[in-house]
Structure 1
Amino acid sequence: MQPNSTNGDPRFVPVSLQSAYNRSISGLQPGDCSDTVLANKDKLLTGRQQLWGVPFSLGLPDGASNVIVLKDREVELDFPHSLHDRQLLFVHAADFKESDASPDGIISPMMGNPRLGETVCEYVLHYSDGSAVAFPIRRRYQISEFQVKWGENSFESFKHVKPRTMATNTDLLHKEAPTIPWGQSQLRTTFPGFGSVMHHWLYALQNPHPDKELVRLVMQPCDGTAFIFGITRTNLATNPFRWDARRKARFVSAPGFVPQPFGESANIGIDLGEVISVTPALEYDHTGWLNNPNPRLPSPKPNEWIVEYTAHPDALIRIHNESTATIPLRELPARPEWSLSENALRKVTVRITERAGGRKVAAKIHVHGAFGDYIAPVNGHRIPNAHWFEDYGAEYVQDFHYSAYIDGEAEYKLPLGDVYIEVTKGFELKPVRKRFTIAAETNLIAIELDRVLDWRQKGWVTADTHVHFLSPQTALLEGDAEGVNVVNLLTSQWGEMFSNLGDFDGKTTIGSKENGGSGEYLVRVGTENRQHVLGHISLIGYEGKMIVPLCTGGPDESGLGDPLEATVTEWAKQCREQNGIVVMPHLPNPRAEGAAALVLGEIDAVEMCSFENIGINPYSLSDWYRYLNCGYKAPAVGGTDKMSQQTAVGTIRTYSLIRNEPFTYESWMDSVRRGHTFATLGPLLDFRVGDCEMGSLMQLPASGGTLDVVWQVSSVTVPVTKIELVVDGLLRESVAVDPEVGHYAGHWSVPVKDSCWIALRIRGKYHDQSEMIAAHSSAVTVIVDGKSCFNATDAVTILEQIEGSTAYIKTLATKADEQTYKRLLLTLTSAQRALHNRMHRHGVMHHHSAPDRHEHHDHDHDHRHGSGHKHGHGHSHNLDHKHD
């Protein structure tokens, strides 16, 4: 007899157990079962249930909660019609049974808990010809207890709650509250039995003789008590609780329909299986993508989706749109809106080498299939997590385009047919984008990278001055793969959370030769010390004890209620005393007390960031130019402030020049101190003013002179559009170039009469995106007649920052003890006076109100001028520009 469709599903027919029930769940007594079951009887299953997609009828049709308790006598169930079904599907569970232990707690024989292999009962199938077959139902095989210890799962039966796809807490729609802890949500999937207190076990008993008429089931107790809640019969050929390996399909939906497999808002699902993920199908435009050093990023195709799933071959896919459509999985290949991916997968090793020398090299790799679907390495995230502080893998997420970092070799499971592979490594090696055809005999894909720029051979070393949330070893891998020689991994505080705290030791350079590395790629753990108003400061490469507090003064950096205990300037000074270098990060914000540290000479470099990877922000440059205009040495470095997989290590990076000495972390710090640096998102440059490297100081006599500016620019990543000469923050020269060429050189003659600074600025452009500032050199400072650069207007703005920081400490900052409070103010007062003195020497005159008078001024003179800039505290600054 075949299953009928009385329940609406011809694959399954629940069996009525009305004649066999011998207990009411609500009426269970102490003699029937254990105290634990009695205490949780309200959690036992009743009524109509859909378990792992299989319908069951548990209890009588009138709704009474009945169950078979198999304890001291056998129970028979006669089938009203002779059956020929291939399988009987049971919902059952065993009551608890403890093993005796000796006084010292040792159990012998050790069978575990539940007691492995112990026969709880037997199910005996009787056929019309008088034959019978008995099936022992053993703990941890066909049945298990309502509650089990972690790690003591069953071998032939599943807990009744199937695993399901879930969104991470960060991915949840705003209307849905998280139901599980944040960390656990990173799994993106639950496990069998998740959320249930009392586990009911699903077991598929295979009928050995479906050709015979099955007339009776006899259930016999053996050792312990069993509960039988329900039975469903099916003629499926294979176990419905055993799903096939995951597979992908492309689905073309109705316009406007967005498949959603998660939670209460789910509108796509599989009964005998689970939808793992739904992502947009991507258009890579392979005609323009292959062999292109700068292809467009892929774009989602309208109404096309990649549905990844795992399921029994007889499963049904249900789509809830304006109407509900139910599609047998077996019919998908015949449906025009569905296309199945290649099911046969081939294990393939992908190996990356550098052509010169043939050595294996770390790199960033992307692989996608015929649908544009991302294919991860076997040991990589198939769905990388791009959220803040959630990037635990070594991946990079660029919109919908995913990549993985590998050490030069990775294992993949690739579909037969065409796959597309992209490999990149930094700014000096040419990117590779190729198509490969995977055949049944393919074992290895070998990819060679060509170094087409030689800045490293010229002595230039790359660095990212600002990285968070990676382990040191992952930082080392990503730095190597991105061609970043130095990764500065910065410990910090985030409210009540700390990052990389245990990774800091104040001495170890990971990757150095003395620590067993190659010495070519290094990681050093420093700190970013932060205060939400006064500013942030990156303390890099210092030795000895950690400079604390890491953050101070309350949220959003330190904990609520923390008093203000340090200034940016104090942190910077301590770092330099401990042989480190100090970088003013993500210029300019927070725009405040960092100005004091720079005025006092405690800053080694200022950092250009590029949030959202859209180039160096002109707002940042505007802030930096002020300091250069006032004669302060402030070399440019590049740092990403990486805090998620949406930013690659070294997306914007520092190039610094090391000549005539080996590359070590210490020599890199020295190169930054010298200022021979440039910051870049791709274009590489060489820039000299006369015989001076970028970042140098040049002296000219009072007569000035004409300077020869020579430059060279190359790029294999960002297409270059303009090369600009900047003098004192103003554009002096500009040349437009053909982005397709990639290599450029030129020179300008620049007459100089007064002290100034000179730098090279590079603009670039991706396709139809806006033009961006893609690189900037440090400045060559030119001193004429011994007089430093000074711009009165910019000096006033710098002074305002220092005075504003002082005002914050006096009025709003949470005070520590009185001694600390006075010490903080003293630091700012010294910076204010240093700048004030320079302003006086340059003729920027001002009037002091009584509270802000300084002993070194003559208070009998009123220095107000009509062209002055009036301050709220009583100062008025004349803006006449005079030289030292």
Structure 2
Amino acid sequence: MNSKTDRSRVAVNDLFARLNAVGDAIADTSSTKCTPLDLKGYFTASSKDFGPRARARELGRGSEHDGYIRTPGGAQVFRGIPFLLGSEDAEAKSWIILTTRPTSWAKSSIEIPLEQKADFVCLAAFCDWDENEMPPPNVEDTVEKVGERLADAVWVYEDGHEHALPIRRRFEVNSPSTLWGHLSFASVPHLREAPRKLTEPLPHGAEWGDLQTTVWDVNYPSGPWEGIAIVWLSALANPEPARTVKALRLEANSDSPLIVCGLTLFRGRENPLRYDRASLYRVTLPEPDGDEDRWKVAVDLGVVARSYLLNGFDPASWLVASGAGLGERASPNPGARYLYIEVAASPEARLILYDTRAGTEYEFDLSQAVPGRELAGRPRGASIEILEREKVWLHGQVIDAITRRPTPVRLAFRSKEGRYIPPYGHRTEVNAGWFQDYGADVKLGDSSFAIVDGTFQVELPVGEACLEMSKGFEYQAVRKKLNIAPGQRDLVLEINRMVDFRSQGWACADTHVHFLPPSTAVLEGQAEGLNLINLLAAQWGDLFSNVGDLFQGPLTSRDGETIVWPGTENRQHILGHLGLLGGHGAPVYPMSASGPEESYLGDPLWTSLADWADECRKRQGLVVAVHFPYPTAELAADIVLGKIDALEIRPGQGYFNTLRFLDWYRYLNCGYRLPCLGGTDKMGAWTPPGALRAYAYLGQNE
């Protein structure tokens, strides 16, 4: 296997195998409603007959060499609909080409006998590229051929009555690849969208950003689908489905060709390619088992967006438990009785639950699922029920109980089963890895939270929901049950202040935060009751973080109570690390020295910690020994020389009898009266700013 094309093809096959874990069952399920038509006797052309296309050379699978368009062949299932296609061989006749232009490999009309009833005919087809989408520079006036009527699909009934439906460019069909912004209005790619997991391996590190979307987008194929020619699927409705259809006639209406790869009749009242919005289903498993990998779920006419087991959650116990706002580890649930799945599908869809251990498949006809009633599978043993069928979109406010004004907080909504429901604009699955998710989201243990500015919008299920909310150390954290009413539009929440240190002249700070954008840091600081965040730029090998924020200086919240002040963390992996805070003017460079893990390969030992400290003080800044006393090397000399202004100390193993505190007391006992600061060293969504903080008395007038 030497070519990129071969590797891509293997990746695609592996991915389809993973997505369709019950692939044969899905095809069999579809066949009860679908009749694929065998078009071998009607094919008029091969890809070679059609000829090379310049745009086809941008594709893969061999097209990049000869310019021939290569489409899938043989028996295929596209989005749950089976098709009988021609050969993949570019020299074999595999397409019906319709055009008004006389040619030996195309026809102006073709009629296919049916003699049966059908509600829809599903078309797998494409058209040639529109040359007006990329006109040459010397052409003064061109119009894209959007809506060009390439052909008609004519339903021919037994009594001779006919009904024609248009097949139009960028409606029912489109080209094998599309420029951005040129998608189709009434057809979809034959490839199926699919969910991704944040934990899945990446073939290339540069694809990390795409993975954060947690979806495979097939409109512009990339990744495992890169270079594949798209066949466009549309479902043309029969206006008289009760009547027997004698034949289907395809008639050309343009000299621009329509290329038909496959046709399938569909029996059902709803369009098989038109999906309802995602619904949450609860599957009662055949037997309790908390092994999530044991259960695989697939749907024929739709997509499974998520499937998961929920950990043990008892709302009554949770409401009265201590630790509100602090996050918690979920209780294992080895005897999980339910699997939860989020499915976007046609009302005609069928869902399959596959027990990989027992080798048993359970089939559910989703058209029979009714809210409030369990639907038994075939065979019996598993059942399914729609949850949260009725939802309301709420405009929310969080009000300070004393000032009666909106106030930023960190909050989480949970369903009565324990499922996290984020406000709009926040992630469902928070990425708590290093340098991963630096939006306004936090994941403490297994508990996810969103940071909001005192206003939010959220869609909640009607009925019971749970709320958790906090705002730093001076407000009473909240856990409460909500009752959401049908038709409700507003939600007002209150949070109570226990103590107001600021009014007594105190201010609090987190002196060590990384990666956050300054405006997001302001919001998170407000939500955690912080007055100051020192946002530290740093070097990590060839990665430089927050350097672009240094030159704008401090950023202050609108109420003037929270300041984010960019500074630097200057680091040498043996000598020590320094936080250079509150300086004015140019930053102290270089920020790291003498190679990994802080600076880049081969970087020299540019300077000492003492030199960094001196440069910081020239800029009227403060020098902090961050995560004191580690690394343990030059810091001792710099403390004795009076170059360190404060020590950042944190509990290490969950208790205080560690070197972090013992060394501080040794310096105090030797007469070096260094104050202690609290900084989180936040480098990911696993901690909020201010989880470690320092309070300083500034006086009543500050």
TM-score in terms of structure 1 length = 0.68
Matched with 1:212 is: 243
The equivalent position to 2:77 in structure 1, one of 36, 43, 50, is: 50
Describe the shift of the 1:34–1:577 C-alpha distance in structure 2 as closer, same or farther (beyond 3 A).
closer
Describe the shift of the 1:34–1:413 C-alpha distance in structure 2 as closer, same or farther (beyond 3 A).
closer
For 1:312 and 1:33, locate their aligned partners in 2 and report how far apart those are by CA, in whole Å. Answer: 37
Q: Is the 8 A contact 1:428 1:451 kept in 2?
A: yes
The equivalent position to 1:132 in structure 2, one of 143, 162, 168, is: 162
For 1:293 and 1:460, locate their aligned partners in 2 and report how far apart those are by CA, in whole Å. Answer: 27
Task: State the shift of 1:316 in Å.
Answer: 2.8
The equivalent position to 1:341 in structure 2, one of 369, 380, 387, is: 387
Aligned residue for 1:202, secondary structure, equals strand
Matched with 2:31 is: 9
Describe the shift of the 1:465–1:101 C-alpha distance in structure 2 as closer, same or farther (beyond 3 A).
closer
Matched with 1:116 is: 146
Matched with 1:451 is: 497
Matched with 1:543 is: 584
Q: Is the 8 A contact 1:277 1:307 kept in 2?
A: yes
Matches within 5 A, 1:290-309: 290=319, 294=323, 297=328, 298-302=330-334, 303=336, 304-309=338-343
Matched with 1:236 is: 268
Q: Is residue 498 of structure 1 aligned with residue 520 of structure 2?
A: no
For 1:282 and 1:486, locate their aligned partners in 2 and report how far apart those are by CA, in whole Å. Answer: 37
Q: Is residue 608 of structure 1 aligned with residue 686 of structure 2?
A: no
Describe the shift of the 1:399–1:605 C-alpha distance in structure 2 as closer, same or farther (beyond 3 A).
same
Matches within 5 A, 1:705-784: none
Task: State the shift of 1:243 in Å.
Answer: 1.6
Describe the shift of the 1:60–1:308 C-alpha distance in structure 2 as closer, same or farther (beyond 3 A).
same
The amino acid across from 1:128 in the alignment is: E
Matched with 2:465 is: 419
The equivalent position to 2:211 in structure 1, one of 185, 193, 199, is: 185
Matched with 1:30 is: 51
Output one character per residue of 1:457-491: Cα deviation in whole Å (capped at 9) or x when no partner. Answer: 22221110111111001000000001111111111
The equivalent position to 2:610 in structure 1, one of 564, 569, 581, is: 569
> Which deviates the most, 286-295 or 459-468?
286-295
Task: State the shift of 1:159 in Å.
Answer: 1.2
For 1:392 and 1:655, locate their aligned partners in 2 and report how far apart those are by CA, in whole Å. Answer: 25
For 1:251 and 1:274, locate their aligned partners in 2 and report how far apart those are by CA, in whole Å. Answer: 16
For 2:565 and 2:278, locate their aligned partners in 1 and report how far apart those are by CA, in whole Å. Answer: 41
The amino acid across from 1:452 in the alignment is: M
The equivalent position to 2:632 in structure 1, one of 591, 599, 618, is: 591
Describe the shift of the 1:306–1:576 C-alpha distance in structure 2 as closer, same or farther (beyond 3 A).
farther
Q: Is the 8 A contact 2:503 2:700 kept in 1?
A: no
For 1:300 and 1:239, locate their aligned partners in 2 and report how far apart those are by CA, in whole Å. Answer: 42
For 1:43 and 1:186, locate their aligned partners in 2 and report how far apart those are by CA, in whole Å. Answer: 31
> Which deviates the most, 447-456 or 227-236?
447-456
For 2:181 and 2:542, locate their aligned partners in 1 and report how far apart those are by CA, in whole Å. Answer: 34
The equivalent position to 1:440 in structure 2, one of 459, 480, 486, is: 486
For 2:154 and 2:526, locate their aligned partners in 1 and report how far apart those are by CA, in whole Å. Answer: 64
Q: Is the 8 A contact 1:47 1:65 kept in 2?
A: no
For 1:661 and 1:629, locate their aligned partners in 2 and report how far apart those are by CA, in whole Å. Answer: 34
For 1:625 and 1:41, locate their aligned partners in 2 and report how far apart those are by CA, in whole Å. Answer: 77
For 1:183 and 1:47, locate their aligned partners in 2 and report how far apart those are by CA, in whole Å. Answer: 35
Q: Is the 8 A contact 1:293 1:431 kept in 2?
A: no
Q: Is residue 284 of structure 1 aligned with residue 313 of structure 2?
A: yes
Aligned residue for 1:625, secondary structure, equals helix
The amino acid across from 2:342 in the alignment is: E
Q: Is residue 203 of structure 1 aligned with residue 238 of structure 2?
A: no
Matched with 1:144 is: 174
Aligned residue for 2:216, secondary structure, equals coil
For 1:555 and 1:398, locate their aligned partners in 2 and report how far apart those are by CA, in whole Å. Answer: 30
The equivalent position to 1:319 in structure 2, one of 350, 353, 357, is: 353
Output one character per residue of 1:414-466: Cα deviation in whole Å (capped at 9) or x when no partner. Answer: 10000111111011111111111111132222222111123222222111011
Q: Is the 8 A contact 2:453 2:523 kept in 1?
A: yes
**% identical equivalent positions:** 32
> Which deviates the most, 589-598 or 551-560?
589-598
For 1:590 and 1:383, locate their aligned partners in 2 and report how far apart those are by CA, in whole Å. Answer: 34
Indicate the RMSD between aligned Cα atoms, in angstroms: 2.8
Describe the shift of the 1:571–1:421 C-alpha distance in structure 2 as closer, same or farther (beyond 3 A).
same
Q: Is the 8 A contact 1:20 1:75 kept in 2?
A: no
Q: Is residue 656 of structure 1 aligned with residue 699 of structure 2?
A: no
The amino acid across from 2:95 in the alignment is: V
The equivalent position to 1:70 in structure 2, one of 95, 98, 102, is: 98
Q: Is the 8 A contact 1:536 1:584 kept in 2?
A: yes
Matched with 2:555 is: 510
Describe the shift of the 1:529–1:42 C-alpha distance in structure 2 as closer, same or farther (beyond 3 A).
same
For 2:30 and 2:490, locate their aligned partners in 1 and report how far apart those are by CA, in whole Å. Answer: 50
- Name which one, 1 or 2, has greater alpha-carbon Rg: 1
For 1:583 and 1:97, locate their aligned partners in 2 and report how far apart those are by CA, in whole Å. Answer: 63
For 1:337 and 1:103, locate their aligned partners in 2 and report how far apart those are by CA, in whole Å. Answer: 60
Aligned residue for 2:392, secondary structure, equals strand
Matched with 1:377 is: 423
Output one character per residue of 1:160-199: Cα deviation in whole Å (capped at 9) or x when no partner. Answer: 111111123xx126xx745971111111001124324311
The amino acid across from 1:77 in the alignment is: E
Q: Is the 8 A contact 1:250 1:281 kept in 2?
A: no
Aligned residue for 2:310, secondary structure, equals strand
Q: Is the 8 A contact 1:244 1:310 kept in 2?
A: yes
For 2:351 and 2:386, locate their aligned partners in 1 and report how far apart those are by CA, in whole Å. Answer: 14
The equivalent position to 2:256 in structure 1, one of 214, 220, 224, is: 224
Gaps of 5+ in 2: 1-26, 102-106, 377-381
Matched with 1:558 is: 599
The amino acid across from 2:97 in the alignment is: V
Matched with 2:676 is: 636
Q: Is the 8 A contact 2:127 2:176 kept in 1?
A: yes
Matched with 1:618 is: 658
Task: State the shift of 1:616 in Å.
Answer: 5.6
Describe the shift of the 1:615–1:484 C-alpha distance in structure 2 as closer, same or farther (beyond 3 A).
farther
Q: Is the 8 A contact 2:313 2:417 kept in 1?
A: no
The equivalent position to 1:397 in structure 2, one of 443, 455, 462, is: 443
The amino acid across from 2:688 in the alignment is: A
The amino acid across from 2:213 in the alignment is: L
Matched with 1:249 is: 281
TM-score in terms of structure 2 length = 0.85
| Higher relative contact order (CA closer than 8 Å, sequence separation 6+) | 2
Describe the shift of the 1:534–1:61 C-alpha distance in structure 2 as closer, same or farther (beyond 3 A).
closer
Matched with 2:123 is: 90
The amino acid across from 1:471 in the alignment is: P
For 1:569 and 1:329, locate their aligned partners in 2 and report how far apart those are by CA, in whole Å. Answer: 72
Output one character per residue of 1:183-235: Cα deviation in whole Å (capped at 9) or x when no partner. Answer: 11111001124324311101111111112221222222213112111111111
Task: State the shift of 1:647 in Å.
Answer: 0.6
Q: Is the 8 A contact 2:52 2:68 kept in 1?
A: no
Task: State the shift of 1:143 in Å.
Answer: 0.7
For 1:631 and 1:33, locate their aligned partners in 2 and report how far apart those are by CA, in whole Å. Answer: 79
Matched with 1:275 is: 304
> Which deviates the most, 189-198 or 444-453?
189-198
